[in-house]
Structures are given as structure tokens and as C-alpha cells.
Amino acid sequence: MRITFDGAAQTVTGSQHLFQINGSRLLVECGFYQGRRQESYDRNCNFPFDPTKIDAVILSHAHIDHSGNLPNLVKQGYQGQIYATPATAHLANIMLMDSGHIQEEDAEFVNKRKLKKGEPAIEPIYTREEAALVAQYFSPVKYDQTFEPVPGVRAKLVDAGHILGAGAVVLDINENGHQTRVWFSGDIGRRGLLLLRDPILPDWADTLIMECTYGDRPHQDPQQAYEELRQVVGRTLERKGKVIIPSFAVGRTQEIVYALHQMFEKHQLPSVPVYVDSPLAVNASDIFKMHPECFDEQTKAFIKADKHHAALGFDRLIYTRSVEESKALNHRKDPMIIISASGMAESGRILHHLRNNIGNRKNTILIVSWQAPYTLGRRLADRDKKVRIFGEEFEVKAEVVTIGGLSSHAGQNFLTEYAMQLKGKVKQMFLVHGEPKAAEALSEKLVQAGMEKPAYPKRGETVEITA
């Protein structure tokens, strides 16, 4: 068997790993590479293999850096199955369509400039319509259900506790009568996240391929983050302000809605309207409601006991779909909570809400996820006194608060615990999906704990695995 690390190798983006087993080609992940514009364009449009020669695809979860290049794979001739949990398949469909829309807008923006310079126009990396074609290839498999993606491979997805439907990919491989197990972690979640079950730890494997996004950082306890959320929202509502939360549409939004729902039920917060104002977040919330099988026991018990019989629905929660509904919020003066995308405040409806509320000391802008450099979200998180929105300068008078403990990724301690399950059992280990600093710090921890130093393959590197 050979594994080629084609993406998320020595970086966190564009996850893509090619397995060659018994003469078949199995692709695990087909992620979108996000980096500088031209590099992203070239990488995403040109696969390092022939898409028509891939026999099967397994997808660990719906995040775009794992699923986002499936439209190109299909566009370039892939016609096999895409195995994923039912929730992942559902979420991926809406996220890919959204991504197609973004690619179209991006190409339009670039082409305006190219036109001025008399340069030829570019095509979008893929369109919304092309993204919609992926849906027909999904072959949903439940957690722990065994399937045979290619001859000689028995595969299953086990709960990764990262986002709805996320799984680790376990491959039991029989090659020429030799048996070997590969455990691909996908993105590893955390214990104690709202809605989701805790990640399943590996029991045994000959080969471990593991993510290391936060290999150099321990995380704060999620409970502490929820407590901070309660305090910030509480003091803002007390001074009759609005809480504006830029949030990723899938995952973080639903987690915050559920956290607020619990706080309202316990009368820890005064009852105010909560608006989820992002079409993708609204669609994603519908998909969450369709997949209660992914919820943890606490959430199931909450739903059973709750008067609304829902984790993501309560009297004063309003999902706004239309632009008119969204704009109507601009004229409201009463205290409220608005959760809107994009998560880094780069585009989308959140920009209107920030523009309208940033200049009022009563309000709070609440940052609930990591913000990439040079984004508006990062400028706010860095406490810039003035920011530009829609080309206009605004003084930041609203309170800005960052809650750091809400990551859906395992921190260093849990990553270590995850790998240590296989101490004395695993024959080879590869770190992927992490920057060099993170991989190095985690390697060091594992070596200190008595494990072999893991490999950290470069992009395009192929390794031979013998059973």
C-alpha cells in the first residue's frame, strides 16, 4: 500500500490523501486549498493525479478545507462514490453550493480589474451549479457501519466530535493476505462541546495519520467559555445594548444558539430576541435538526425535557432568510442578540450589523473564533480604534470581547492523549493538518511520553506501508 500526502501536508489547508491499495485508488478527503489567490487557483484547478482514475472517495467531515474541491473532482471526470456520514453529506451539499457562490463572486471581482487592464477574464474555480452536481455521488454511511470502498478494504467512520457528522476514517486493509489497519483522525474534536458527543479515541492501529492543528497549544475548558458568554451577554443586555456576534454559519452558530437557549431556560439571562441572520446558517440549522442521531446524551435529554422540544428553537429565536428581514433589524433600538456570518467579518450580512452598531458604547461585538490576519474580525479582535467597513471609516465605540475557548479542535493535551492510546501498538505515525510549529511541539510531547517521533510528510510525499 502507498499513501501520498497531497494536501494539508505541513499546513492546515487543502486536506487530500491518496491511498493506492491492491491496484485501486482511494482518495481520503478532497479539500479546498485556501491561500494566496493565484496559488489557490492553480492548486485547486490542477489535481496531482487523474480524477478519472480515482475509484472511491471517503470524506471525514463537511468543512471546506476537507470537502471543498469535490466539485472540481466531479467536473474533471470523477464518477465514483463519495462515502460520508448522512449529516456530513447534507452539510457538504449546502456548504459546497455556498462555496461555489463565493468562487463566482471572487472571479467577478478579479475580472473587473482584469477588464480594466485589458487582460483575459478568468473562470470561477467552480460555480454554484457545478457544486450542486456533487450531491448525486454521496453514498451515506452511518457511524460504525462497515463498507468496502475498494476491494480488500473494510472501512468505517467513527465519531470525531468535531462538527456535526464528523468522523475519523478507519481502514482495515487486506493486501496479498496481509492485514493492516490505518486510522486517519480527520479533525479531532473536544470533550464537553455542546450538542456533540465526545471524540472516540483509537483502540488500535498499525498506522496513525493524525491532525495537529493545535499541537502547540492547550485549550481553555469549553465550560469556562460558555460562562464568559453568559457574562458578556448579561452585562450588554443590562445596559440595553445589542450583542453582535460574527460567527461561522456551520457549527459555531448552532453551538451558541443552544448555549443561549439553555441560559434563557435557566433564567440566567433576560429574555430578548435572538436573530440568526445568515442564509447558510439558517440552512445549516435545519440540517442539524434533521440529524439528532449525532447529538450527545445531554442534548437528547434537554430536547426531551424542553417545552419547545428543540435544542435550536425557542420562542424568541428568529431565523431570518430574506434581505428585507435582515435590513429591518437596522432600525430596531431594543436589546437583542444578532448572530451573523461571515465568521471573520469579511463579507455577508454581518457587515451591515457592524456598521450600524459599532459606534454605540452600549453594544458589544463578540468574537468567538480565531480571526485570520488582515480580516476585519482580526482588526476588531486586536482592538483597533478605527476600522473600515464598506470603504467608510468607523470609530469602534462598542465593547469588543474575545472568547477564546470555543474551538472545535482538540488542543495539545487531548491530541497527546489521542496518540498515546496507540503507544506500543502503532508502527508508524504521520502528523498532518498542522503548521510546522504545531507539529514540532506535539512531536516533542509524544517523544517525551515514550513514543517514536512521528513523521511529518511534505506535500506530494509518498510512503510505502507494509503490513
Nearer to Zn ion, 219 or 352 (CB): 219
Cα 111 from chain centre: 29
Residue nearer to Zn ion on the CB measure, 31 or 124:
31
Comparison of 63 and 352: residue with beta carbon closer to Zn ion: 63
Closer CB to Zn ion, 65 or 228, in the complex: 65
For Zn ion, the closer CB: 31 or 100? 31
Question: In the complex, what is the shortest distance from the CB of residue 243 to Zn ion, in angstroms, rounded to a whole number?
Answer: 26
Q: For residues 32 and 64, is the Cβ–Cβ distance under 8 A?
A: yes
Residues in a beta bridge with 367: 402
Q: In the complex, what is the shortest distance from the CB of residue 162 to Zn ion, in angstroms, rounded to a whole number?
A: 6
Determine the longest span between alpha carbons in the chain, in angstroms: 71
The least distance separating Zn ion from the CB of residue 69, rounded to whole angstroms, comes to 15
Q: Which of 28, 35, 33 is nearest to 61 (CA)?
A: 28
**Backbone CA torsion sign across 347, 351, 354, 359:** positive
Distances (CA, A) of 308 to 261, 336, 383: 10, 20, 39
Cβ-based nearer residue to Zn ion, 164 or 229? 164
Q: How far is the CB of 193 from Zn ion (least distance, A)?
A: 13
CB 359 within 8 A of CB 398: yes
As measured in angstroms, the least distance from the Cβ of 68 to Zn ion is: 11
Which residue, 25 or 63, has its beta carbon nearer to Zn ion?
63
Q: What is the dihedral of CA 102, 103, 105, 107, to 10 degrees?
A: 160
Minimum distance from residue 340 beta carbon to Zn ion (Å): 21
CB of 106 to Zn ion, least distance (A): 22
For the bound state, the minimum distance from the C-beta of residue 61 to Zn ion, rounded and expressed in Å, comes to 6
Nearer to Zn ion, 13 or 364 (CB): 13
Interface contacts to Zn ion, rule CB under 5 A: 63, 187
Query: Dihedral of CA 444/446/452/454: which sign?
Result: negative
Q: Which CB sits closer to Zn ion, 170 or 329?
A: 170
Provide the minimum distance between the beta carbon of 89 and Zn ion in the complex, in angstroms, as a whole number. 16
Tell me the pairing of strands 2-7 and 461-464. antiparallel
Q: How many Cα atoms are found within 13 Å in the side-chain-facing hemisphere of 362?
A: 13
Q: Whole-number minimum distance, CB 191 to Zn ion, in Å? A: 17
Of 187 and 255, the one with the shorter C-beta distance to Zn ion is 187
Give least dist CB 95 to Zn ion, A. Answer: 11
Nearest residue (CB) to Zn ion, 250 versus 365: 250
Query: Which residue lies nearer to Zn ion by CB, 213 or 262?
Result: 213
Quote the least distance from Cβ 81 to Zn ion, whole Å: 22
